[in-house]
């Protein structure tokens, strides 16, 4: 009987894709994926360290495995990802039933690290620099993807920005771009395997290729090249940095049919003083100028953002500035967070300027009200429109419906005949109702049947 593995993923899309690569390594060793913790021989936690509640959630899940570990000599419990890179052996000191700790820089050798643990016992492997592999393309193509018709494609690792609240440069290192030809080759190979939608990934995709050319970034050219690959119907990307969003990228979005009309543009704060303290490199006015330019150039563009409430020292007046910018920006949706200090960042040392929890909670509620009013209105404006929807599978809330995404990334629920209800199909749907976080629609016709091969699911949290 084949040995089995379970991977629990926390955090961003980069972590999700790392988990897919790890799963590909283990499948290559003859193992099988499972979602049943009791039958797993290897349990891997791929962690995030952006927010404190991610740490708490992770340690709670990890603690539940102590009894299982004591009764299973064959079980290997591994912790990887950004928290592992930051905390290293401290994780094993805190939780004694962990067998392996690995970092973000050696994701490509997890299967070998597990073998070392099985031979020699507990192991902490957290290198400060990425391990030389040369196998990025091979691992990307053997990744076990959660959805076999849509794929993450990593453009770069690391980040060169110095945002005061962010630990990512410390745990993922500086920016390193993959070769242009490798990325395009990966998209081509994915298309041959039936993938129809790719999402280009990086901490700051706008700067992709700057380290390769020694001059300017190559991201606009890459968008065009990926969009021209036969079989690829949709190209998305995340995340850009507002200070680096260039006119040539907007032009590539507008002129390349496959590139979706979706832009995630993190603002973080509407106060120029707070933006400066955050070390973001732009003003609220400059942000709004770029947002306006993108909307003017790209028809039917949906824009989402990130916002942080309660950054150290944020005054009442500065928060009001954020509300004003949020109302003017009129986003389709927002990922809104309460400031969480991360050890090692500049913001974590601003203890004297931390804001009372009740004040932050009140601000958070007010900001949510503003951004959700915009989201609801924008969704209601889509009622009556015909939308191309990529079917993701059965609705999680209504078994009589299927769920899918429009080109703008909006979630749509609708009833469909059997041939159009298959995950990976494209359907034309008329929008009949708009809520804050989803749309309802009426099926019109099948546009394209699925082309993908079957894949193996990887658990996410």
Domain containing residue 444:
386-448
- pLDDT score, position 53: 62
CA distance linking residue 370 with residue 368, whole number of Å: 5
Say if 308 falls within a structural domain.
yes
- pLDDT score, position 1: 78
- The pLDDT-based confidence of 60 (bands split at 50, 70, 90) is confident
Structure-block tokens of residue 91 = 């994780």
| Residues 325, 239 share a domain | no
pLDDT digits (tens, 9 = 90+) for 371-387: 999 999 999 999 999 99
- pLDDT score, position 442: 98
- pLDDT score, position 308: 98
Question: Among residues 125, 159, 185, which one ends one of the domains?
Answer: 125
| Residues 78, 90 share a domain | yes
| Residues 91, 41 share a domain | yes
Cite the DSSP H helix spans in 64-179. Answer: 66-71, 82-87, 90-94, 110-120, 136-142, 168-172
| Residues 115, 11 share a domain | yes
CA distance linking residue 306 with residue 69, whole number of Å: 39
CA distance linking residue 379 with residue 358, whole number of Å: 31
Mean pLDDT for 364-372 is 98
H or E stretch including 375? Answer: helix 357-380
Q: Mean pLDDT lowest for which of 142-151, 239-248, 294-303?
A: 142-151
313-345 as b/e: b if 16+ CB within 10 A: bbeeebbebbbebbeebbbbbbebbbbbbbeeb
Reported pTM: 0.90
| Residues 104, 26 share a domain | yes
| Residues 12, 120 share a domain | yes
pLDDT digits (tens, 9 = 90+) for 174-208: 899 999 999 999 999 999 999 999 999 998 999 99
Say if 83 falls within a structural domain.
yes
Say if 205 falls within a structural domain.
yes
379-409 as b/e: b if 16+ CB within 10 A: beebeeeebbbbbbeebeeeeebbbbbbbbb
| Residues 250, 217 share a domain | yes
pLDDT of residue 460 exceeding 50? no
| Residues 357, 326 share a domain | yes
What CATH number should be reported for the domain holding residue 370?
Answer: 3.30.750.200
Q: Mean pLDDT lowest for which of 156-160, 250-254, 318-322?
A: 156-160
Say if 34 falls within a structural domain.
yes
Percent of the chain scored above 70 by pLDDT?
A: 95
| Residues 393, 369 share a domain | no
Say if 456 falls within a structural domain.
no
| Residues 291, 255 share a domain | no
DSSP E strands in 301-454: the ranges are 302-309, 333-338, 386-394, 402-405, 411-415, 426-434, 439-448
User: Phi and psi (nearest 5°) for 198?
Assistant: -120, 145
Q: Mean pLDDT lowest for which of 80-89, 257-266, 298-307?
A: 80-89
- pLDDT score, position 335: 96
More confident residue, 451 or 136: 451
Say if 309 falls within a structural domain.
yes
32-45 as b/e: b if 16+ CB within 10 A: ebbeeeeebbbbbb
pLDDT digits (tens, 9 = 90+) for 170-183: 888 889 999 999 99
pLDDT of residue 108 exceeding 50? yes
Give the other-Cβ count within 10 Å of 149's Cβ.
Answer: 25
CA distance linking residue 153 with residue 235, whole number of Å: 10
CA distance linking residue 120 with residue 79, whole number of Å: 17
CA distance linking residue 412 with residue 146, whole number of Å: 20
- pLDDT score, position 247: 96
- The pLDDT-based confidence of 457 (bands split at 50, 70, 90) is very low
Please state the domain count of the chain.
Answer: 4
| Residues 170, 102 share a domain | no
Question: Among residues 260, 285, 311, which one ends one of the domains?
Answer: 260
| Residues 112, 16 share a domain | yes
H or E stretch including 109? Answer: none
- The pLDDT-based confidence of 461 (bands split at 50, 70, 90) is very low
- C-beta of residue 403 within 8 angstroms of C-beta of residue 409: no
Give the other-Cβ count within 10 Å of 74's Cβ.
Answer: 8
- pLDDT score, position 130: 65
What CATH number should be reported for the domain holding residue 232?
Answer: 3.30.750.210
Mean pLDDT for 157-182 is 90
What CATH number should be reported for the domain holding residue 413?
Answer: 2.40.50.140
Question: Among residues 381, 400, 433, which one ends one of the domains?
Answer: 381
pLDDT digits (tens, 9 = 90+) for 217-274: 999 999 999 999 999 999 999 989 999 999 999 999 999 999 999 999 999 999 999 9
Structure-block tokens of residue 57 = 């959630």
- pLDDT score, position 137: 74
């Amino acid at each position: 009987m084949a040995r089995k593995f379970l991977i629990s993923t926390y955090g961003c899309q980069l972590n999700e894709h790392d988990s897919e690569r790890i799963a590909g390594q283990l499948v290559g060793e003859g193992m099988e994926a499972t979602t049943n913790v009791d039958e797993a021989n290897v349990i891997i936690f791929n962690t995030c360290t952006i927010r404190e509640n991610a740490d708490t959630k992770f340690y709670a899940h990890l603690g539940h495995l102590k009894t299982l570990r004591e009764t299973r000599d064959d079980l290997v419990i591994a912790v990887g990802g950004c928290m592992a890179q930051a905390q290293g052996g401290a994780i094993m000191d805190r939780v004694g039933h962990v067998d392996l700790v690995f970092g973000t820089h050696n994701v490509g050798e997890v299967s070998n690290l597990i073998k070392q643990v099985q031979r020699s016992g507990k192991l902490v492997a957290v290198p400060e620099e990425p391990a030389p592999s040369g196998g990025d393309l091979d691992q990307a193509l053997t990744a076990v993807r959660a959805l076999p018709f849509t794929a993450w494609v990593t453009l770069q690792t690391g980040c060169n920005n110095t945002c005061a609240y962010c630990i990512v440069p410390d745990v993922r290192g500086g920016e390193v771009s993959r070769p242009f030809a490798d990325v395009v080759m990966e998209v081509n190979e994915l298309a041959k395997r039936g993938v129809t939608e790719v999402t280009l990934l990086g901490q700051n995709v706008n700067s992709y290729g700057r380290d390769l050319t020694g001059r300017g970034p190559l991201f606009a050219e890459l968008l065009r090249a990926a969009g021209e690959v036969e079989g690829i119907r949709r190209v998305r990307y995340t995340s850009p940095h507002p200070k680096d969003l260039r006119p040539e990228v907007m032009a590539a979005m507008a002129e390349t049919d496959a590139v979706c009309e979706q832009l995630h543009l993190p603002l973080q704060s509407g106060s120029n003083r707070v933006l400066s303290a955050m070390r973001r490199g732009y003003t609220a006015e400059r942000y709004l100028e770029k947002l306006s330019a993108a909307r003017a150039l790209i028809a039917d563009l949906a824009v989402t953002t990130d916002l942080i409430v309660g950054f150290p020292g944020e005054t009442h007046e500065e928060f009001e500035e954020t509300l004003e910018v949020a109302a003017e920006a009129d986003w389709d949706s927002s990922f809104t967070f309460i400031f969480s200090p991360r050890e090692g960042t500049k913001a974590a040392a601003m203890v004297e300027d931390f804001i009372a929890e009740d004040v932050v909670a009140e601000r958070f509620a007010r900001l949510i009200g503003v951004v959700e009013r915009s989201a609801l209105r924008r969704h209601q404006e889509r009622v009556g429109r015909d939308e191309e929807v990529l079917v993701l599978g059965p609705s999680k809330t209504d078994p009589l419906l299927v769920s899918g995404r429009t080109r703008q990334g909006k979630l749509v629920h609708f009833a469909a005949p059997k041939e159009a209800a298959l995950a990976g199909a494209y359907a034309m749907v008329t929008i009949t109702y708009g809520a804050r976080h989803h749309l309802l629609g009426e099926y019109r016709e099948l546009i394209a049947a699925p082309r993908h091969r079957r894949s193996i699911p990887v658990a996410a949290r």
